[in-house]
Amino acid sequence: MKQLLLSAAVAALTLSSLPASAQPAAPNGPSATQADPFLWLEDIEGEKALDWARAENARSLPVLQGDPRYQGLFDNALKIITAQDRIPMAGFAGVGDKELRNYWQDKDHVRGIWRRTTMDSYRTATPAWETILDLDALSEAEGKNWVWKGSSCLPPDDRYCLVSLSDGGKDAVTVREYDTVEKRFVEGGFVAPEGKQNISWLDKDTLMIARDWGPGTMTKSSYPFVLGLWKRGQPLDGVKEIFRGTEDDISVSGYALRDPSGAIQAVFINRAVSFFESETYALIGGKPVKLPFPLKSSVQSLVEGRLVLTLDEDWGAQDLKQGDLVSLDLKALLADPAKAKAELVRRPTSRQSIQTVTNTANTLVVEVNDNVTGVVYAYRPGNDGWSKQKLNLPANSSLGIVSVGSQTDQVLASAANFLNPTTLWLANGGAPQQIKAAPAKFDADGMVIQQFEATSKDGTKVPYFIVHRKDIKLDGSNPTLQYAYGGFQVSMNPSYSGTIGKLWLERGGVYVLANIRGGGEFGPAWHQAGLKENRQRVYDDFFAVSEDLIARKITSPRRLGIMGGSNGGLLMGVALTQRPDLYNAVVIQVPLFDMQRYTVMGGAGASWAGEYGDGTKQEEWAYIGKYSPYQNIKPGQKYPEVYIETSTKDDRVHPGHARKAAAKLQSLGYKVLYYENIDGGHAASANLNETAMRVALEYSYLSRRLMD
């Protein structure tokens, strides 16, 4: 599927990936001197730790599932999640972009089916879909709990695809070559066993592959740093090495830049030296040559010979600024990298950011965040620079670039906000046409969306959205759920959620989305303001929004609950330990919690030191220790009863964080509800039934704490 770029949901969990360790690694810093009575809970598949998790499930699930509202919440969540009338978001594929491919899950296909149709059929109310691969049938036939992790197909016909399958939802995947015409795995084709690996096509018989080649080939973050060329029929141990990073890097990967015909124009190698810094190399004459790009920059597209980059730092040598979108002539760059001249394509304002950059055959397609709402532009290169055209898509909405044609100029874009279901638009050089609209999943009549600003501790204005009924009383009595993420330059934009609407808003709840620092709503500077020693600003922003809600008498601490996952789960832990006076409900999803050991626990922790710092280093623990939730759980506090959830199979954020948080709170006499899904990966669910259960458990808890 070509450049399928689905927009993130409100509850997105978006940290990077890596494998989990069965035995906790020994720290080499301050944590070595501090006894941790719950260290044994880091043994992910250990019998004692799993027995503890099962016992916690057996204690907590009857409480939440025994609530008289649970079954109704579950039924509504399952109906919404498995609904047949959802828009089947699809990506262009095949010669001339004549196919549309889609991965689909519903009540009859809880693991999902990969399928295709034509554009003419897709535009109808009931497209005629042809199944390419049935994951439910494959799982049953092979005795596996396969979870779909995507496909990468060889242009221009996209017949042969590398299909990534995860056992139980882990980030580690098995990659297998699939023939979409014969609809079967290729006999004797490429098969890469389970692992964290970066694989891409060069040609029908050659892949670029980085994976675990044995001792000394994986970074401390557990990503591969040795890249090779894999020829068809060649055993993995015969792969020819073409590039090697170091174990202190994050990862190494390779990719080809192609023209609309599928012909390779350049082969690049990305060496991620930290989570936010990368070196880019071009293979010239078979040898890697380092290109003179800033470390904090990202290659985005190739359009008519113009290489397009985004900058997350100033490029002084080119007089370009942080946040800029720029281009270079690819041929000139490869001929003499040191003399290549970059050209400005777009410079966002202080309240804008570049969100998504991709390209059709002839145009650059750019999604811009403008005060947390979306605008999409099509740019064309010319002799006098780049011309632009704004696509006439719905205003005051979150916009997403769903897919673009690589051999045509077709663009599929989505639009939605909190109260208006998603619509799908097709642009092909002219005015966009709406081709699909999702039906409403809850009654939004009489509801409104407002955007306010809170003032953070240092005076920064922090925007937030609030969704509620028009007629709410401003007396502090409204059950309110506040959500945020605040990290890794991930923007939290308004989006339509049938489950939030049906299970919360329709029942009288108020929903709040806070655009705190650490995210990408206003570009790289908004993110970088909350890095490392400045992390407390992120939390102060979140508290400021809570205090503003209370000051406006929208809610009160008795009726205010919060929810967040992954990095947002860390945010929840900080809120619990620093400001328990503000909240009566805290939903902590697949969290980071022990920031002293997060880099050595397993999962992807070591790769995030660029975001937080490293708690095993004394000088960095000096500031991390002030907010790390696990170490700051204290006796005698007025913590509300919390709900913590995680997944045993999460090889991104180690489940030991959630386990140890629950155990320590309980040891000090605090009430905790805990659920650990034995499958599910970082999404804490491996299929749609599990997703519905997770959502119903969350809203049962919120109802008990905030509505009763």
Please give the pLDDT value at position 376: 97
Q: Which residues of the chain have pLDDT under 50?
A: 1-33
Q: Which of 173, 195, 217 is the last residue of a domain?
A: 195
Please give the pLDDT value at position 680: 52
Q: What CATH number does the domain containing 415 carry?
A: 2.40.128
Domain membership flag for residue 474: yes
Q: What CATH number does the domain containing 482 carry?
A: 3.40.50.1820
CB 560 within 8 A of CB 550: yes
Domain membership flag for residue 8: no
Domain membership flag for residue 22: no
Find how far residue 521's CA is from the centre of its chain: 15
Q: Which of 290, 310, 330 is the last residue of a domain?
A: 290
Please give the pLDDT value at position 682: 60
Could you tell me if 165 and 109 lie in one domain? yes
Could you tell me if 577 and 663 lie in one domain? yes
Please give the pLDDT value at position 700: 98
79 CB-near residues (< 8 Å, 6+ apart): none
Q: How far is CA 188 from CA 135, 161, 172, 195, 577, in A?
A: 21, 14, 22, 20, 55
CA dihedral 377, 327, 492, 441 (to 10 degrees): 40
Could you tell me if 127 and 177 lie in one domain? yes
The b-or-e profile of 318-337 (16+ CB within 10 A means b, else e) is bebebbbbbbbbbeebbeeb
Could you tell me if 138 and 265 lie in one domain? no
Could you tell me if 223 and 165 lie in one domain? no
Token pair for 308 = 């397009």
Token pair for 352 = 């804008």
Q: Which of 440, 474, 490 is the last residue of a domain?
A: 440
First to last CA, the chain: 47
Task: Judge whether 654 counts as a catalytic residue.
Answer: no
Residues 374-393 have pLDDT tens digits of: 999 999 999 889 999 999 99
Task: Judge whether 682 counts as a catalytic residue.
Answer: yes
Q: For CA atoms 106, 109, 111, 112, give the dihedral sign.
A: negative
Could you tell me if 191 and 205 lie in one domain? no
Could you tell me if 565 and 511 lie in one domain? yes
Please give the pLDDT value at position 169: 83
Could you tell me if 565 and 639 lie in one domain? yes
Could you tell me if 695 and 575 lie in one domain? yes
Domain membership flag for residue 465: yes
Q: For residue 408, give its domain range.
A: 348-440
Residues 599-629 have pLDDT tens digits of: 999 767 889 999 999 999 999 999 999 999 9
pTM (two decimals) = 0.88
Please give the pLDDT value at position 688: 83
Please give the pLDDT value at position 107: 86
Could you tell me if 55 and 151 lie in one domain? no
Domain membership flag for residue 21: no
Strand ordering across the sheet containing 226-231 = 198-203, 206-210, 226-231, 240-244
Domain membership flag for residue 658: yes
State the pairing for strand pair 226-231/198-203. Answer: unpaired
Domain membership flag for residue 5: no
222: left (phi over 0), alpha (psi -120 to 50) or beta: left
Domains: count for the chain = 5
Q: Within 10 A of 674 (CB to CB), how many other CB atoms are there? A: 25
Could you tell me if 368 and 225 lie in one domain? no
Please give the pLDDT value at position 13: 32
Domain membership flag for residue 6: no
Mean predicted lDDT score pLDDT of the chain: 93
The one catalytic residue in 297, 682, 685, 700 is 682
Could you tell me if 251 and 355 lie in one domain? no
The one catalytic residue in 222, 566, 685, 700 is 566
Please give the pLDDT value at position 22: 25
